[in-house]
Structure 1
Amino acid sequence: MAGFDGGSAEGTEFDFSPGAEIPLSGSAGQTAASNALASAAYRDGPVEDLIKANEEAKQKPPKLSLFEPNLGEAFSRAVQTRLLGGARKPLIQSFGTEPQAVVEHCLAANRIRKARDTRLTVVMVIFGLLFLPGVLLWLLTFQLRRSIAGAQDKRVGAFGMAALVAVGVLAVLFLIKLPYGGLLGLYLRSMVVVPIVGWLWAKRICEQYAKDLRARWESLLAGGGIGAKIPEAVPRDPGDAGAERIRLGLAKLGAEQASNLVYYAGPKGILGMGTRWGSWQLAEELVPADPGGDINPFRSWDVVKAIHDQLRMLERGPLHTGGFPVPGIQHWIVSPVGEGAKEVSRPEGQEVEGYRIRDFEVQRICNEQQFGSGNRHYLGVQFVLWDGQLVITLLISVTVLHHTLRVEVTGHALGPVHPLFTSKPKAKTKEVSKSVKFWETKEITLPLVEAREVVRLAARAPFTWFPPVLDFLGGKLSLPEPFGLRHAWADKPWRHRFMADDALRAATPVLRVVHSAAIRVLEENGCVTDQFGARSQVLSGMVQGAEPGKSDAYDA
């Protein structure tokens, strides 16, 4: 499973010429979740929708609401800064998705918006800088209306609209009754009219790019293959520091995705894998088969290795009925962090290679760190289903304390991405009464880009060249920490009957394979297996009626 190993691009040819279409890096069958998350980069809704999907995400209040970003702008900016920033914190793996593809689409969306803002900046210079007093007057009017109409009180909102109409009337009277003549009078009249002409030009630009962004949004959710065009990620010369920084950032992201270190955060479960919904423990005494002899010495790793080899045969069965897809099998090191931890740390030293714990250290942890503080070893078998929308992970741990061997299997499930990310773009409509048959209503199509949206984009355009200034004026989105693209906006799988069934069904065959492999190792090393076999039969019956619970939330 490519997503389990950090993704692969075997058989894919990349064109690194300037302006190349970067192929979607998700493996076959794992693109739905990646495309859904990537579509957020092209959306045009309010940021509040994203915060409702995860209340741990925060938005810094804007100084002026006229400069406030929409959902797509805030998401693209936040993801690009968080995942490619120079001083960024470690990331949580995004199982079932390809975070690199999401970041590439965020870069592409920012590139499209920057091209739009370049043209809008030209409009603002021509029609705004030369007639600055009039532009400031109109901007002040729209800011006043935006501030007042945004209130919950509808009467106050209506007052905001009335204020805008009143300013328009005063502007007309100003043009008619202007006491000045000559060149000064002509400039003062132009100061009111010319910004309106600039607004009409800006509206055409905004509509053109809005159609492009919406087309990409819709294509991603429809399974289309519109790639993320990011020529700025392709170095043009050896001194192209910006492109090299993006290239290294994407490579670092892929390396972190391939890490075998995960974090347990109490009731939140293992970050990136979801909460633990079930646990089955086989724990019995080690008794030598020969009453007068001893058992052959073996270690936890010997049992784990036998289980690992047997799990590789999961996709094979006696009947040709489809069955399991090829699972991803991985040795995991689980590090405990606090439930309210805002960041995680990556270990360093000779035991670490890149972002992965070396094999000899994994084996040492498996054999020695079974009690007390420290990291723990788990053998994981993972299924990515429903085009990446469902991630089922079953973790196996083997411990030996005194004369007791314990083999524990725990089930984790990460559900589909929040429905916000799977909603397709819809035409903006409004229901109004018919002019003649007023008791009947009809639906009219509204402009794709409203007047206030044109003003907002035009006002923000010159400041996009200075992102910190724009963040100060319009606020910015803070992503939930510890951050991982997949688990931050994952929904519960138990609301979807088929997904829930798949999670429950996977536990039974995996549990039986684990038990049979462990008992075989005991037999080979001269242990009595009767008690283990009896307990295995009991657990085999219990797992058939498995129901999801909250195994990480102890009622104590």
Structure 2
Amino acid sequence: MADGFDFSPGAQVPLQGAAGQTAATHALASAAYRDSPMEEILKADNEWHKSKVTKGRFSLFEPNLGEAFSQAVRVRMLGAGRAALIQSFGMEPQTVVEHALAAGHIRKERDSKLTAVTVVFGVLFLPGLLIWLGVFQLRRTLAGSKDKRTGLLGNGALLAVGVLAVIFLIRLPFDGVLGWYLRAMLVAPVIGWVLAKRICESTAKDLRERWDGLLSGGGLGAKIPDAVPGNPGDSAREALRQSLQNLTAEQHSNMVFYAGPKGILGMGTRWGSWQLAEELVPKEPGKEIHQFRSYDVIRAMHDQLKLLERGPLNSGGFPKPSVKHWIVSAVGEGAGSVSRREGQDVEAFQVKPHEIQRICNEQQFGSNERHYLGVQFVLWDGQLIITMMITVTVLHETLRIEITGHALGPVHPLFTTKSSPKTITKPKTVRFWETTSTTLPLVEPKEVVRLAVRAPLTWYPPVLDFLGGKLSLPEPFGLRHAWADQPWRHRFMADDAMRAATPILRVAHNAALKVLDEHGVDTERFGNRSLSLGGAVQDASPKKADVYDA
């Protein structure tokens, strides 16, 4: 049952996506496990979609990339009352969200341990903890200065406090319980830091293994017990499970959004456009054309395009394409959000077939949604999305067939980079012309302090957002198009996109000419125009077809 309860011990993400399309999925999912600075994600932004990093009040509470990405994705894609999402073609967004949930679960387990350490060795000795935190915050602030001498002051301040602490312990002017408490006040936070470092090192190693495992093509599945209801009254987990189901349903919606020069959101910019428009003239003078509608032509194209993978030669060629009817809604270039239509003509984010047919036949002019027949290829393990969109309009006595090409390139290389060990290289003491490299611990001392002070507050993210800052995702948001590169920088990807245009154009034109001929239309002019376009489509140079020079 779709709405039944699942009492299995844990939810696992499948290691292989649809048709092996895992490269883009795993690359984006790996971001949830990363420990690099949050600002790194700004490097992945393209010219159309920009992320925003909001700074907090104290750098000591700043999240890293994995923490910020996981929280932003969970809130944006599963939050109550969220705005509509853009489909992520060539990947499974639910898998990315589940990895974000799994990474959050791992960090929560770590934070529970760190919170216990902070309470025992910090809160009980609060004056000493505040002294050490003040020094670390001062050091962190000064270390971020562009002036190297200012940065050295931070290290000097930390060393000075350490020396004063030792002197204070030896020459303490108090005796009895107060004296022992004052001594413990300075020592306990240091002991807590040592224990916290071991906890942080263990978790950091686990997170990095998952990060590298995903990019190696496999890795561990994302365990998300929070999405499995433990009993029929477990409303929180049931709500999360249903949110994941809604996410998958919206991913398969047949409605997309055209945003001017940005192209169709999720499909990429329009790089080519070919139009055949001729007058409908009866084949035999004095006779009328047999009545037909735009959808009759589209249906014939649909049937022929489903056979694209078949050819006269046994030489590979096209993989099986996805041929689908799309409803395209126009939004502004700078639209901050989109909304999907609702009502009796829509079910589970899908516009029903009878409404698709009505839009195809009737909504061809004016401010309405439009119908397109799409042929989509998912190539390069999900890294390249080629979509050819076909629309047929009949205005007065003119039939027009327009075919446009859209291409969405690979995810930014930031997401495909594996973790690297932290090393420091310096010259040898005696043989100074040679260098030696030392591998540093995964978690630096300042990172242990950051994680420890954040741990008690992770149960209420708004406070952490206020204190440390957060990541805001580009809107209208979809996982795939937000961080996609152009395919034209990759020779073979560019070739694949442009090679697909010619056969699709010819199949569509031949199907249309057959329908016209069967309904008594003179197809001579249409045939001549089709041959002309068949030559023009072979121009191997993509254009910015949505940027009009007017």
TM bracket, shorter-chain basis: over 0.9
SS in 2 for 1:425: coil
Q: Which residue of 1 aligns with 2:91?
A: 97
For the residues of structure 1 that align with 2:219 and 2:310, how far apart are their CA atoms?
33
SS in 2 for 1:21: coil
Q: Which residue of 2 aligns with 1:544?
A: 538
For the residues of structure 2 that align with 1:171 and 1:533, how far apart are their CA atoms?
91
Q: Which residue of 2 aligns with 1:46?
A: 37
Please list the CA deviations of residues 471-497 of structure 1 after superposition, one character each: whole Å capped at 9, or x if unmatched: 221111111110001001111111111
Amino acid at match of 1:155: R
Shift of 1:139: 0.8
301, 308, 312: which one pairs with 1:314? 308
Amino acid at match of 1:88: R
> How many residue pairs align between the two structures?
543
For the residues of structure 2 that align with 1:254 and 1:233, how far apart are their CA atoms?
14
**Contact 1:24–1:228 (8 Å) recurs in 2:** no
Runs of 4+ in structure 1 off by over 4 angstroms are none
Is the deviation greater in 230-239 or in 468-477? 468-477
Is the deviation greater in 348-357 or in 402-411? 348-357
SS in 2 for 1:338: coil
**Contact 2:112–2:455 (8 Å) recurs in 1:** yes
SS in 2 for 1:161: helix
Is 1:29 aligned to residue 29 of structure 2?
A: no
Shift of 1:162: 2.0
Is 1:259 aligned to residue 250 of structure 2?
A: no
**Contact 2:58–2:468 (8 Å) recurs in 1:** yes
Please list the CA deviations of residues 489-530 of structure 1 after superposition, one character each: whole Å capped at 9, or x if unmatched: 111111111111110111111011011101111111111111
Q: Which residue of 2 aligns with 1:212?
A: 206
Is 1:301 aligned to residue 292 of structure 2?
A: no
411, 415, 422: which one pairs with 1:417? 411
Q: Which residue of 2 aligns with 1:384?
A: 378
Q: What percentage of aligned pairs have identical amino acids?
A: 68
Is the deviation greater in 328-337 or in 22-31? 22-31
For the residues of structure 2 that align with 1:407 and 1:156, how far apart are their CA atoms?
67
Is 1:77 aligned to residue 71 of structure 2?
A: yes
For the residues of structure 1 that align with 2:63 and 2:451, how far apart are their CA atoms?
9
**Contact 1:25–1:101 (8 Å) recurs in 2:** no
Is the deviation greater in 520-529 or in 170-179? 170-179
Shift of 1:113: 0.2
For the residues of structure 2 that align with 1:23 and 1:122, how far apart are their CA atoms?
34
For the residues of structure 1 that align with 2:167 and 2:496, how far apart are their CA atoms?
70
Change (3 A) 1:249 1:24: farther
476, 483, 501: which one pairs with 2:477? 483
For the residues of structure 1 that align with 2:495 and 2:426, how far apart are their CA atoms?
45
Report 1:15-164 matches (<5 A).
17-24=8-15, 26-54=17-45, 56-164=50-158
Amino acid at match of 1:220: L
| Gaps in structure 1 of 5+ consecutive residues | 1-13
Shift of 1:26: 1.7
Shift of 1:31: 0.5
Is 1:507 aligned to residue 498 of structure 2?
A: no
Report 1:288-367 matches (<5 A).
288-367=282-361
Amino acid at match of 1:143: Q
Please list the CA deviations of residues 115-162 of structure 1 after superposition, one character each: whole Å capped at 9, or x if unmatched: 000010111111112111111111111111111211222222222222
Please list the CA deviations of residues 518-546 of structure 1 after superposition, one character each: whole Å capped at 9, or x if unmatched: 11111111111111111111111111123
**Contact 1:25–1:100 (8 Å) recurs in 2:** no
For the residues of structure 1 that align with 2:435 and 2:274, how far apart are their CA atoms?
60
For the residues of structure 1 that align with 2:170 and 2:513, how far apart are their CA atoms?
96
Shift of 1:90: 0.7
Shift of 1:21: 2.7
Is the deviation greater in 502-511 or in 432-441? 432-441
TM-score, normalization: structure 2? 0.97
**Contact 2:422–2:441 (8 Å) recurs in 1:** yes
**Contact 1:24–1:101 (8 Å) recurs in 2:** no
Is 1:448 aligned to residue 442 of structure 2?
A: yes
Q: Which residue of 1 aligns with 2:489?
A: 495
Please list the CA deviations of residues 199-244 of structure 1 after superposition, one character each: whole Å capped at 9, or x if unmatched: 1110000000000000000000001141110111110011111110
For the residues of structure 2 that align with 1:28 and 1:177, how far apart are their CA atoms?
72
For the residues of structure 1 that align with 2:13 and 2:7, how far apart are their CA atoms?
8
SS in 1 for 2:343: coil
Q: Which residue of 2 aligns with 1:3?
A: none
SS in 2 for 1:116: helix
Amino acid at match of 2:392: V
For the residues of structure 2 that align with 1:492 and 1:201, how far apart are their CA atoms?
47
For the residues of structure 2 that align with 1:225 and 1:447, how far apart are their CA atoms?
23
Q: Which residue of 2 aligns with 1:7?
A: none
Q: Which residue of 2 aligns with 1:10?
A: none
Amino acid at match of 2:394: V
Please list the CA deviations of residues 349-403 of structure 1 after superposition, one character each: whole Å capped at 9, or x if unmatched: 2211121111111111111111111111100000000010000000000011111
SS in 2 for 1:453: helix
Please list the CA deviations of residues 1-58 of structure 1 after superposition, one character each: whole Å capped at 9, or x if unmatched: xxxxxxxxxxxxx995223433246213201100000000000001101122126211
For the residues of structure 2 that align with 1:24 and 1:376, how far apart are their CA atoms?
37
Is 1:236 aligned to residue 227 of structure 2?
A: no
Please list the CA deviations of residues 232-273 of structure 1 after superposition, one character each: whole Å capped at 9, or x if unmatched: 111001111111011010011011011100000111110000
Please list the CA deviations of residues 442-468 of structure 1 after superposition, one character each: whole Å capped at 9, or x if unmatched: 211111100000000000001112222
SS in 2 for 1:280: strand
**Contact 2:6–2:229 (8 Å) recurs in 1:** no
**Contact 2:15–2:218 (8 Å) recurs in 1:** no
Is 1:371 aligned to residue 368 of structure 2?
A: no
| Gaps in structure 2 of 5+ consecutive residues | none
SS in 2 for 1:326: coil
For the residues of structure 2 that align with 1:545 and 1:60, how far apart are their CA atoms?
45
For the residues of structure 2 that align with 1:122 and 1:108, how far apart are their CA atoms?
22
For the residues of structure 1 that align with 2:110 and 2:417, how far apart are their CA atoms?
25
Amino acid at match of 1:488: A
For the residues of structure 1 that align with 2:245 and 2:456, how far apart are their CA atoms?
32
